[in-house]
């Protein structure tokens, strides 16, 4: 009998959770990657890694066909939004459960997503697809500064910047049009800036699991430095947000699988920033598990396997995460044992992302993080206090390069 396997295409911050869940369910996890060595938390003994050109559906299908000669592949999925359409396309080829590749593709093009949401009558920021720095600056002047300039396709806040002057708009547009990392589109998206608290809504199909309160670092970047689940919201606002996201998901045709939607609470109510056709990253699934007892990672794998899923909450606690980001470039120095942060009541995880002596060169996105702390308690104020205390005990300092 061939071993039953679950194929994962590349990784996200939740990748290791997917590997562990597949093993718990009795399946061999297989990671397809162009460079598995880039994943800092990958345990070589935890799963099988296979090289594949993961941006190509044809290449992934070819590798899976080869694996099928010795393994029984039961599911193909990805924890990375950038590879969601490849996973969906491969599932269609093999007749496996999965999302509609066309719906995923439409959703990942942020300009097309904006257009569809606007056509559905949903609140979205004013926006323009700009192909030159001049186009971008013209729109920014018309809609009013500041504006956000970002790639048409992307995730993890990569390439997203708040621009407060027209020269900044032109410079950021020029950078995105020329940078190899963002060369998937001949244009950029310029958006009206909505000032207000940011939330994310975690869904599975049309079912709303819960709402996450997000904390952002200093502008002009949009690096997420923390999350609280569930968000502290009045019932009226919660209802407005839930209805807007459910309508958006339906308008985009995302009727299968997880989605991670981002919303800002503007002066006139909730405004949809973007819908991501994937499970949330940044350990948000772990916060949901700790707070509600719902393992979204495991339920996603069960869905991909064609098994029944259970989204009923088993607990009502409050979980949160805080990321430690460096304040400047230089060389990282740790001045206290991270174990001290683990002694704080309510703290369940402390993880160091960068070792002492590592060079720090900030990029303005999720890759800047050097550590994180997770806590869970019965009340949100208790969780926030525990996170603040633990973070204060992570004594990291950035030395000048010449101080080595």
Is residue 62's pLDDT more than 90? yes
For 208, the token pair is 């709303």
pLDDT score of 403 more than 60? no
Please report the pLDDT score of residue 143 as a whole number.
Answer: 93
Catalytic residue flag (residue 24): no
Q: What are 20's two structure tokens?
A: 């562990």
Q: How confident is the model at residue 111 (pLDDT cuts 50, 70, 90)?
A: confident
CA pair distance 109, 105, nearest whole angstrom? 7
Task: Report whether pLDDT(269) > 60.
Answer: yes
pLDDT of residue 130: 93
Model pLDDT, residue 51 = 94
Q: Comparing 96 with 401, which gets the higher pLDDT?
A: 96
Residue 184's pLDDT is 62
Q: Looking up tokens 């009541």, which residue turns up?
A: 345
pLDDT classification of 183: cutoffs 50, 70, 90: low
What angle do the packed helices 15-24 and 296-305 form, to 10 degrees?
60
304 SS3 class: helix
Higher-scoring residue by pLDDT: 125, 184: 125
pLDDT band per the 50, 70, 90 thresholds, residue 180: low
Instruction: With cut-offs at 50, 70 and 90, classify the pLDDT of residue 43.
Output: low
Distant-in-sequence, close-in-space partners of 22: CB < 8 Å, separation ≥ 6: 6, 8, 28, 29, 47, 301
Distances in whole angstroms, Cα of residue 116 to Cα of each of 87, 161, 193, 275? 23, 24, 19, 11
Average pLDDT score over residue span 20-36:
93
Q: Model confidence over 348-391: pLDDT tens digits?
A: 999 998 888 888 888 878 888 999 999 999 999 999 999 999 99
CA 356 to chain centre: 27
| Cβ proximity of 318 and 376 under 8 Å | yes
Distance separating alpha carbons of residues 80 and 72, to the nearest angstrom:
23
pLDDT value, residue 38: 81
* Active-site hit among 278, 317, 322, 369: 278
pLDDT band at 11 (very low <50, low <70, confident <90, very high): confident
pLDDT tens digits along 218-255: 888 888 899 999 999 999 999 999 999 999 999 999 99
pTM: 0.90
Helix then strand count (H, E) for the chain reads: 11, 19
The answer to whether residue 93 scores a pLDDT higher than 90 is yes
Integer Cα distance of 158 and 324 in angstroms: 18
Q: What is the pLDDT of residue 343?
A: 95
- Distance, CA of 404 to CA of 400 (rounded, Å): 8
Predicted confidence (pLDDT) at residue 41 exceeds the cutoff of 80: no
What domains are defined for the chain? 3-98 (3.40.50.20), 126-192 (3.30.1490.20), 198-403 (3.30.470.20)
Of 226, 160, 247, 201, nearest to 390 (Cα)? 226
Question: What angle do helix axes 57-67 and 84-94 make, rounded to 10 degrees?
Answer: 50
* Mean pLDDT over each residue of the chain, to the nearest integer: 91
Half-sphere exposure (Cβ direction) of 205: Cα atoms closer than 13 Å? 10
C-alpha angle with apex 240: 234 to 243, nearest 5 degrees?
135
End-to-end CA distance of the chain: 58
Cβ(133)–Cβ(146) below 8 Å: no
Residue 198 phi, psi dihedral angles, 5° rounding: -110, 140
* pLDDT tens, residue by residue, 274-308: 999 999 988 999 999 999 999 999 999 999 999 99
For residues 36 and 59, give the distance between their C-alpha atoms in angstroms, rounded to a whole number.
17
CB atoms inside a 10 Å sphere around CB 41: 12
Question: Quick one: tokens of 92?
Answer: 């269609």
């Amino acid at each position: 009998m061939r071993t039953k396997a679950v194929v994962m295409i590349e990784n996200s911050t939740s990748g290791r959770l997917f590997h562990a869940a597949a093993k718990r369910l009795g399946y061999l996890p297989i990671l397809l990657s162009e460079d598995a060595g880039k994943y800092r938390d990958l345990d070589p003994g935890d799963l099988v890694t296979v090289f594949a050109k993961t941006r190509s559906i044809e290449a992934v299908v070819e590798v899976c066909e080869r694996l099928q000669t010795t393994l029984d592949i039961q599911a193909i999925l990805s924890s990375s939004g950038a590879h969601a359409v490849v996973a969906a396309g491969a599932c269609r080829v093999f007749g496996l459960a999965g999302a509609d590749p066309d719906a995923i593709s439409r959703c990942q093009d942020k300009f097309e997503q904006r257009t569809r949401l606007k056509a559905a009558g949903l609140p979205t920021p004013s926006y323009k697809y700009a192909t030159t720095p001049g186009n971008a600056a013209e729109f920014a002047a018309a809609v009013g500064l500041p504006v956000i300039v970002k790639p048409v396709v992307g995730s993890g806040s990569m390439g997203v910047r708040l621009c407060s002057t027209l020269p900044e708009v032109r410079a950021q547009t020029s950078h995105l049009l020329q940078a190899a990392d963002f060369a998937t589109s001949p244009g950029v998206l310029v958006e009206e800036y909505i000032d207000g608290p940011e939330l994310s809504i975690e869904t599975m199909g049309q079912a709303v699991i819960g709402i996450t309160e997000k904390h952002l670092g200093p502008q002009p970047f949009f690096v997420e430095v923390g999350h609280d689940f569930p968000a502290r919201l009045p019932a009226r606002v919660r209802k407005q947000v839930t209805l807007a996201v459910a309508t958006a998901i339906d308008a985009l045709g995302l009727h299968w699988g997880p989605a991670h939607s981002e919303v800002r609470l503007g002066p006139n109510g909730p405004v949809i920033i973007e819908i991501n056709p994937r499970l949330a990253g940044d350990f948000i699934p772990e916060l949901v598990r700790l707070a509600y007892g719902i393992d979204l990672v495991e339920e996603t794998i069960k869905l991909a396997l064609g098994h029944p899923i259970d989204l009923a909450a088993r607990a009502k606690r409050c979980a949160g995460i805080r990321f430690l980001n460096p304040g400047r470039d230089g060389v990282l120095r740790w001045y206290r044992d991270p174990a001290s942060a683990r002694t704080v009541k309510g703290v369940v995880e402390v993880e160091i992302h960068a070792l002492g002596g590592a060079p720090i060169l900030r990029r303005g996105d999720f890759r800047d993080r050097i550590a994180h702390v997770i806590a869970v308690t019965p009340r949100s104020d208790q969780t926030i206090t525990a996170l603040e205390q633990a973070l204060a005990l992570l004594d990291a300092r950035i030395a000048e390069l010449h101080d080595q």
